[in-house]
Structure formats: structure tokens, C-alpha cells
Structure 1
Amino acid sequence: MNEHEMTEKAILVGCQLPHVTDERFQYSMEELASLTKTAGGEAVSVMTQKRNRQDSATYIGKGKVEELEVLCEEFECDVIIFNDELSPSQLKSLATALDVKIIDRTQLILDIFAKRARTREGKLQIELAQLQYALPRLSGQGISLSRQGGGIGARGPGETKLETDRRHIRNRIHEINGQLSTVKEHRTRYRERRKKNGVFQIAIVGYTNAGKSTLFNQLTDADSHEEDLLFATLDPMTRKMTLASGYSVLISDTVGFIQDLPTTLIAAFRSTLEEVKEADYLLHVIDSSNEDYEGHERTVHELLEELEADRIPMLTVYNKEDQIRPDFIPSSKHRHLLISARREEDVKRLKADIMAELKQNFLKPYHVKIPAYEGKLISALKSETLVESLEFQKEAELYDITGFSGEEQTILGQIKKYML
């Protein structure tokens, strides 16, 4: 956060419905406090209520709204943040009853994304999601949607007075969709080229703040943004990872998943998360020091299912072993490893595990004898396939090579005549 930005004082409000357990509700409210901190706010008070269903007009009961008014004066709060997505009518009623900025969980997450987007595509995705969220909520929001006020919930599509012109928003949504489809075409072409070259692709997925970027940096020597905040990484990053023997694969770091991810965001970020769908293998990173690690794991699996990426082979990586909870028990149905991403020996162990998995389930063995004059081909084999052994037979002036390669790699056609 910029030193000139003031920390906003926030009151958090949650409504617990019968189907939500006390434990899950508590984690959800704690997560809302973390999201608030990430957005540059500080939770000064928390108000919760158990109800059979949300109040259709004000989310919480009328009595609670009056209590909230008193709390606002007492703490001189700048913003009230609700733990669910508010309907347009709830937002309007609350804005009328309370003389303070009101935002919901969806707006808060969109705001963090707006703050963290770096690439043109990321910024477009965010603007699209914010406009789609804003469109049905224009009436009764007053200044908070005009983007004239600062602070949480006020980042994004610049200084446009959103509430004055629905047509302007619809036109802008249409325009962004057009720009995004161009970006998507480029990304699709790039992915097709990678597939054609037979490059093995791995995607790192996991709940936000599980340590994905730390692991990504250790595996690739990249400098993806690392921070102990939710959604530290937003824009997908793909780098080369070199395994033993010099064999290279591509690995992508992705945006963190979160429970109750706004539907506008899932739709807007579908193309960003396409990296996950296109991967040959997933590394699912879980923070083993978090009390709700099982809930996080469940959320990721549900979202992968929604993205139709739940059938991709996966290795579960329980991270932060150095801070592990005494009651921790691995809950994954998939193969799993327990590591600390900051320990070099653990990263080597993970790379060795990926290598073994590649040989066993993804690559096909080959054995060739190639004449010494085919230097270019031998060099290509070393960089494009996983070479196990390479022996020069002096008398025959041949290289005896064994290794593993992908089934669709173009180099297989070139070495076919030398296969044993």
C-alpha cells in the first residue's frame, strides 16, 4: 500500500444461515478480515447474526441495521463490508439507512484484483467484471459507484460517472469483450504452438496465499510476486522449468482460488484460467499450516470441476511443512508430498517426483542409434526429450541413446529410421 493511502476503518458484517457450520462461518469471517487487510483496510469491529434466511431488504434484521448505525458512529468507520454478495435492492436499502460507504464481498474481491492487475489483459478482465457487477446496481448507490471517492471499492474503471449512463457501460462491456477475444485468440495460437512442439505443461493451482508463487519462483528462478497477502498473484505467468538431464517443461503460476468466488469473476477470468485447462499436469498447493486446509482443498476441487479441469492428473503439494499444525492429516485422494517451498532439498525432491511421474505416465521410452554426423539431431534430442543415457560407439561411429519423449513430438518422425 502506498504510504499516502490511509488505512480505512471497516466494520465487517456476516449472516450465518442454517446450512453453514459455526466453524466454516468463522473461517469465512476471518477470510473477510484478511481480504480487507489486503485491500488496505482494517477491521475495527465485526457484527454477525444467525438467521434462517437473509433479510430480502437489508441482509441482516432491522434491529441489527440500527445497531450498525451506532457502531459506525462509535468507531468512526469509513466503510461497512458485508460477507455475501448483496442484491441491488439490499444495497439500495442499506445505503439509505446508513450514511457510510457500503460494499460487499464481491466488490471487495474485485477491488483487490483491480489493485493487483498488471497486464493489459488483467486490467480488461477486472474492468469487465466491475462493470457487469455495477450495471444492475446503478440506482441508489450515489457517490460510491461514481469512482469519485477514494479507498476500498473505488478502484477500477477510472473517473467515469457510472450511474449516469447505462448505455455507456453496455458499450464499454461490448468493447472490452471484443478486445478480450483478440487477446484470447493470441493466447490460443500460442498454446497450439506449444502443443505442436510437444512441450509438457504444468499448472500450479491452489487456494490464495498457499505459497504458489514462492514454489513457482523456486522451481523456475523467476520472480513472480510473493507476498503474505491474499491474491498476491493475479496475472498468469509461464516459465521454463529445467529438470534433471536438462529436459525442460513449461510451468504456469495462476491466480489463487477462494471460496464464494464471485460469478462475474469466474466468467471474466475464464481465459486467464485456461492455462489450467490446457495443462498436462497440475500441482495443487495447499497451506498445511492453515486451520481450514481441508476447506481450501474442497474449494479448489469445486472450482476445477467448474472449469472442467478436474480430470487432469494431479499431485497434491502440502506446503509450509515447517509451520505444520500438530493435528494435520493429509486429506487428499491424489498422490501427495509434504514440503516447504523455501527448502532447496524439498524443491529438488519435488522435481525428482515430477520427473518420475513423467517417465511412468506421460512419456514413451525410445532407443536409437544415430550416426555421429547427425550432430544437429543429437542436440535436438538432448533439449527436446528426456535423455537417459548417451554412449558413443567409436568403431561404428554411432551414438547409442535411450530416453523418453512425448507421443506427439515432431522429433519422433526425424529419429524413426534410427529406432531399434
Structure 2
Amino acid sequence: MQEIPEKVIIAGISRMQENFDYSMQELKELALARHYDVVGESRQNLDRPTGATYFGSGKVDEVAELARANDATTVVINDELTPSQLRNLEKEMKLHVVDRTQLILDIFASRAASKTAQAQVEIAQLQYALPRLHPSANKLDQQGGGGAGGLANRGAGETKLEMDKRVLNKRIARLRRELKDADVGEEVRRAQRKENKLPVVALVGYTNAGKSTTMNGLLDRYTDLGADKQVFEKDMLFATLDTSVRQISLKDNRKFLLSDTVGFVSKLPHNLIDSFKATLAEAANADLLIQVVDYHDEHYPEMMKVTSDTLKSIGIENIPMIEAYNKADLRPGTRFPEENGNTLIYSAKDPASLDKLVQMITARVFSDSAVHTYLIPFDKGQLVDFINRETGVINTEYVETGTKVKTTVNPIQAGKLRQYLVEED
């Protein structure tokens, strides 16, 4: 039988934010992504949260009354609450309370597919749970769903509390060791790719902007990979948590690696960002970033700022970037594909748009390529095979002394073939 969604109320304070309306709309979308049924909303104009209960005087009772009137059992708050605010709200409202941080952690926990992503999310959950452990028998004293919900202490003494904290800290340490071991293997693979001089292009941006759709479109158009090699895509927040890397091979034999990374969202929990630094290493080591933007969403400037701020917070700066404004097909009267400097207005579902994106990528990542002519002796057939397989052959001619090939090569390939270089007429 299909599970009946839990009814929730979303609530928040303005903090005098210019984008408060957008922040609350995003909170609703996050709640829907968690499979909640949002049945009501409450807001309060305050400069800052009230110390004990987050909301100001009287608002706590108002939110509780709204929840009861709509048969809601949970209140979702648009900020991260302190442990005391969380306990006080649950005690006064007699409802389950989930803050924005816990909500995002729960979504990530439900989406994580690989062992690496699961470990990263669990570390963030445990770090969130640690300061929220306390000796209480109150059954409402549980911090959200997913893996963290079962971590709340049901004991009644300080000794039990300290024991629980030691258990959580040991678990965090073990998970970090596992992630470090996994990252060593990934670093070896990155080094091998660097050795092969394959440029790395990373798709970054806000969640649900169309990164996975863009990647799958390029894979379908420029590779012979089957559907099983495509990345998961769906119209929902955080559909992709694991970084996927695929090789794109162009008709002229030039190749680059394309990676699809986890999407960002405003107020992304710091613990989660720290945990996912290893996953985002592909972006940190990229030769080119493609920031995919949901051009159809009126709040796309705020989304771009969140992306920029998040990249800076994890040390990803000074890497060339193409700003790719996706979903232009959903904006009536918008011409696409349209290139202007380092920006592209496009649709990930439009072949001409994908071709234009690849043209922009190749112009940037193969800027150090050069066209040369080589004369390869007939007894060096393996070099001819190498040229045909790995370089951008323009013309081949068979002459008395060997195979004459005009081709596009990168600096490493040029070095390997240097002794066979011939002067052009």
C-alpha cells in the first residue's frame, strides 16, 4: 500500500531578507522533496530569532493552532534551530519540529546511493545530532527522520549521555577513515587521467537546474554509451548526490571528461558541505566549470549567488567558467542557442544547443592544441594507430617514405611525435 504523506506546516521569520518569499517557497519545495504534504504556512516579521523559542511572543501558540486545524503533526522551520530552541518548541507546541538543516539532511539520506555518499551524509547527520543529545524521556525528543532520528538519547542520566556522545564520535572517526581510504583511490584515478592529458569539465550549479539532463544529452549525442551509462535525472531537488564522470569523444578524436556534481541550495548545512568536499573534488580539479542555471526560474540570480558562494566556501575559485542558462525553451520568445562571450542561453533538450555548448567547451579546453604534419615510417605502424585513435586527423597521405598525416595534437602528443614532424610547404 502507498504510504500516506505526513502533513506539515512550514514556518519562518523574515530576518529582513530581501529574498524571504523565495526562501519560503524553496522550503516548501524541500518539504515536498522529503515527501511531506504541506498543508499550511506561517510567517513572522522579526529581525532575528527569539532566543528560547525562535518565534516571538504568541507566534508559537498560533503555529500550533494552525497545525492542529490542518491535522498536521510536524512543523518545518526555515532556519537551523539551536538544540534548546528545538526542545522548547516541541515542548510548547506538542508537535514534532524539523529545522531546515535536518530537512536537507533527511533528503540527502534518502537520495544517497553509493557507499561514499551514504558515509558523507551520515557524518553530517551525526555531527548535527551530537549537540542535540540530552537526557530526556520525552518521545518528542527526536531530531527528524532518516538516519539521525534514531540517534536521539532515550536514557535518563549524564553517564548515558556521555556514552552516547562517545559512540557517535567513534562512528564519525571511523566513517572519516573510510572516506579517506576511498579518496586515495579516487586521487589515483585522477592522476591517471591527468597523465593521459584529458581535460576535465565539471557541471556545477543549483539543484534541479538541469545538470544531469545536460550531461545525458551530451552522452547521447557524442558517445556510443548505452542508457545504463547515463546519469539519473528527475525533476526534483537533489536527484543526484554522487559525482559521475564520463568521457566525451568528438569526431576529430579529441576527448574530454565530463563530471556531474551534487547541486547546491541556499542555507546548505556546513557539515554537509564539509562532508561532500571529497565528492566535489572533480570540480576543484577541473580545467573548466559549466555553471548550469535554471533560466526559467525568476530567482535564478539568487541561485547563481548561492552557487558562487558555495564554490568559494569549499575553495573552488579562479577556474574558467561558462555560464549556461538552461531551460530557455520554457521562456516564451527566448532565442536559443545564443552565445555571448562566456555565457550561453540554451536548452539541454535541444541538439543545436548541445552542439553549441560543445563548441564553447572545445574552444577553451583545447586552446593549447596545434595543427602539425608528421611523416611516420611504414615500420612505425603503432604510431599511425596512435595518431588515428588519439588525435584529430585532418588529412592522411601515403608517400614513398611513409604515412604523412596532418592532425591536431595537444602538447603531450606533440612531444611524443616531435621527431617525425615535417616542415609545411
Q: Summarize the alignment of residues 338-417 of structure 1 with structure 2, pairs less than 5 Å apart.
A: 338-359=345-366, 361-385=367-391, 387-405=392-410, 407=411, 409=412, 411-417=413-419
Amino acid at match of 1:382: N
Aligned equivalents of 2:153, 2:195: Cα separation in 1: 45
1:274 and 2:265 are equivalent in the alignment: no
SS across alignment from 1:295: helix
1:167 and 2:172 are equivalent in the alignment: no
SS across alignment from 1:312: coil
1:231 and 2:244 are equivalent in the alignment: no
Gaps of 5+ in 2: 156-163, 221-228
SS across alignment from 2:90: helix
Map of 1:150 onto structure 2? none
Cα shift at 1:145:
6.3
Aligned equivalents of 2:211, 2:192: Cα separation in 1: 26
Cα shift at 1:180:
0.9
1:372·1:399 contact (CA, 8 Å) conserved in 2? no
Change (3 A) 1:31 1:50: same
What's the C-alpha RMSD, in Å, of the aligned pairs?
2.4
Map of 2:147 onto structure 1? 156
Cα shift at 1:37:
0.5
Map of 2:219 onto structure 1? 220
SS across alignment from 2:58: helix
Amino acid at match of 2:15: L
Change (3 A) 1:125 1:325: farther
1:96 and 2:91 are equivalent in the alignment: yes
Q: Summarize the alignment of residues 301-320 of structure 1 with structure 2, pairs less than 5 Å apart.
A: 301-320=308-327
Aligned equivalents of 2:53, 2:388: Cα separation in 1: 65
Aligned equivalents of 1:101, 1:195: Cα separation in 2: 50
Amino acid at match of 1:156: G
Gaps of 5+ in 1: 148-152
Cα shift at 1:46:
0.8
Map of 1:64 onto structure 2? 59
Q: Summarize the alignment of residues 7-18 of structure 1 with structure 2, pairs less than 5 Å apart.
A: 7-18=5-16
Among 236, 242, 248, the residue aligned to 2:249 = 242
Q: Summarize the alignment of residues 139-154 of structure 1 with structure 2, pairs less than 5 Å apart.
A: 139=134, 142-143=138-139, 153-154=144-145
Amino acid at match of 1:215: T
Residues 198-230 of structure 1 show CA distances to partners (whole Å, capped at 9, x for unaligned) of 111111001000011011111113421111110
Cα shift at 1:382:
3.2
Cα shift at 1:146:
5.5
Aligned equivalents of 1:380, 1:143: Cα separation in 2: 67
TM-score norm. by structure 2 comes to 0.89
Aligned equivalents of 2:333, 2:88: Cα separation in 1: 46
Change (3 A) 1:389 1:142: farther
Cα shift at 1:399:
2.1
Among 294, 298, 310, the residue aligned to 2:301 = 294
Cα shift at 1:162:
4.9
Cα shift at 1:390:
2.7
Percent sequence identity is 35
Residues 128-161 of structure 1 show CA distances to partners (whole Å, capped at 9, x for unaligned) of 00000000011269546658xxxxx311268555
2:129·2:152 contact (CA, 8 Å) conserved in 1? no
Amino acid at match of 1:218: G
1:51 and 2:42 are equivalent in the alignment: no
Is 236-245 or 155-164 further displaced after alignment?
155-164
Map of 2:259 onto structure 1? 252
Number of corresponding residues: 404
Is 202-211 or 157-166 further displaced after alignment?
157-166
Cα shift at 1:16:
0.7
Cα shift at 1:374:
2.2
SS across alignment from 1:182: helix
Map of 1:324 onto structure 2? 331
1:236·1:252 contact (CA, 8 Å) conserved in 2? yes
Aligned equivalents of 1:40, 1:65: Cα separation in 2: 25
Aligned equivalents of 1:189, 1:81: Cα separation in 2: 43
Amino acid at match of 1:118: A
Amino acid at match of 1:60: F
Aligned equivalents of 1:84, 1:261: Cα separation in 2: 10
SS across alignment from 2:120: helix
Amino acid at match of 2:146: R
Is 118-127 or 70-79 further displaced after alignment?
70-79
